Structure 1
Amino acid sequence: MTQGLRTFLTFQDGAATGALDLYRDVFDDFEILEIEPYGPEGPGPDGTIKAARFRLAGSEFSCADSPITHGWGFTPAVSLWIDCDDLDELRRLFDRLSDGGEVFMPLDDYGFSTRFGWVGDPHGVTWQLNLPA
């Protein structure tokens, strides 16, 4: 039996704290629900995120800093989709999330949406930002 679905973001090199700080700054409805840092006993570096659960844009997420170095990171093949309320919000999210990150598709009319953009934030998480018609 399925107990629920929640996106889990695996960060490396202590990036979870920076990502949580960015999302707290960018999203008005951001809320940390639970957070547990690694202590001096490890296995991750002291103060990095052992487990966190947070809410933003009406969805719940979990994340952690992996104490294991993986040969992979985030990929644009899986991204987070945000429907914005207005053009100002769309532009603000696009600008803030892409600052120090990467723009995959600049804000434009792509046929399936009159105003859409796709960015990777500085921590590697990708966001598809849309203004519904």
Structure 2
Amino acid sequence: MATVNVYLTFNGECREAFEFYKSVFGGEFPYMGTFGEMPPQEGKELSQEDKDKIMHVTLPISKETVLMGSDTGGEWASNLKIGNNFSVSINADSKDEADKLFNGLSHGGQVTMPLADTFWGAYFGMLTDKFGINWMVNYDDPSKMQQHP
């Protein structure tokens, strides 16, 4: 069965916020990566400021719960407001489960990123459901996962 966690979105304050959360909850970041570490995308040049922003960070809170987050930028930044700056993140156990959950949740809503294979090895998509709730659906295919230091 899928696991559910909260995914927080910031406009440049992600690193500072997660250092604060780490000071409160303890633990270590298994992964913290910047947009500058992403593979280059044709036709998209990032400013130095955007390269330094956090693309993804993970902080385990307990055995079952992980707090995740990222910064936003570009055309996404103007849509970020307090109240819509989080998503419910579902980690599915299979690609079929990811498809089922994504298709069900997106019915009557708006797909903001269709489910697709990603450069980091996951099958991932984002949507806003018909009630205005942001969702991320992810399946980590063990055969495609990158190893992070």
Structure 1 length normalisation: TM-score? 0.43
Point out the structure with the larger helix share: 2
Structure 2 length normalisation: TM-score? 0.38
